[in-house]
Amino acid sequence: MKILIVEDSRANLLVLTRYVEQYGATVLPAENGLSAVEAFERERPDMVLLDVILPDIDGFEVAKRIRGAEGPGDWTPIIFLSALGKDEDIEKGIAAGGDDYLQKPVSEIVLSAKIRAMQRIIQMRTSLVVLARKLDTANQELKRLSASDGLTGIANRRFFDEHISREWRRARRSANCISLMMCDVDHFKLFNDTYGHQAGDDCLRRVAGAIASSLERAADIAARYGGEEFVVVLPETSLSGALIVAEKVRHAVHGLNIMHSASSFGRVTLSIGLAAAIPEVDNSYEALILAADRALYHAKHEGRDRVCRSDKMPEA
């Protein structure tokens, strides 16, 4: 434990140093206010014993500067030592950032008791900080899990519903185009019937990974929409730009080379429907979803393993 002792009287400094060293702490001595602030910033002591009357700046100003030098969440106990014992002096010391106030001459027994009390507070505070960090980490993990699909690891339907609503409002404010991809694994029921549900789950995981890895921008979000359906939100992307991304996704799934003997393609493929819109007062993201879903229907109706786009937004 390091204790900064700020005392301009060398005799008092020696006495205080002896008291503190008997307690087992390391002493950092300072004989004026400015050197005390420098020592604090350099050494970051665990506690400060601070005289009020100093030759340059007074102890109240030193306390204020120490508090100003502390980082967010930091706290260093400051105990004022002074011959001034009026109520207003004590109040001024606490207002300046002090935590306790001892009147000179300081009793070794009282000082030792105050140091032990402050040390207990430090330990309790440290434990609370550690606990708070653990809770924050746990909350972040819970938040991540609540937004993730348990099977594929990408975003889930709940996250998508919240995300598309936010992105739609953002696009409306900036008058930017937003595109949506609806993706469906072709003949997935036949895949499950042929290879079993465990293979089906592995297929969905790999397809989800291929979709997600095809997105280059952090703003582009892939989510599992339900069953074998996936959705991709592409903010600030036109229909022509979304078409490029969709073809990249489709080829990425091709590249997985997942055998599908019950499909005419001989491998797992993806059908994709595209829609895009510039949000306005009289349209909604529900209409965008419906347009992408209808485009997906056309992709499947026209033979699957293809991308179809919607050129018109339907009524929501």
Helices 285-301, 157-174: inter-axial angle, 10-degree rounding = 120
Identity of the residue numbered 137: T
- Give the active site residue among 21, 41, 61, 228: 228
d(C-alpha 11, C-alpha 105), whole Å: 12
Can you tell me the distance from the alpha carbon of 119 to that of 104, in angstroms, rounded to the nearest whole number? 22
Cβ contacts of 309-312, under 8 Å, gap ≥ 24: 309/239, 309/242, 309/243, 309/273, 309/274, 309/275, 310/273, 310/274, 310/275, 311/239
Largest CA distance in the chain: 96
| Annotation says 43 is catalytic | no
H-helix or E-strand spanning residue 183: strand 178-185
Cis peptide before 45 (omega within 30 of 0): no
Q: What is the DSSP letter of 267?
A: B
**Residues labelled as active-site residues:** 228
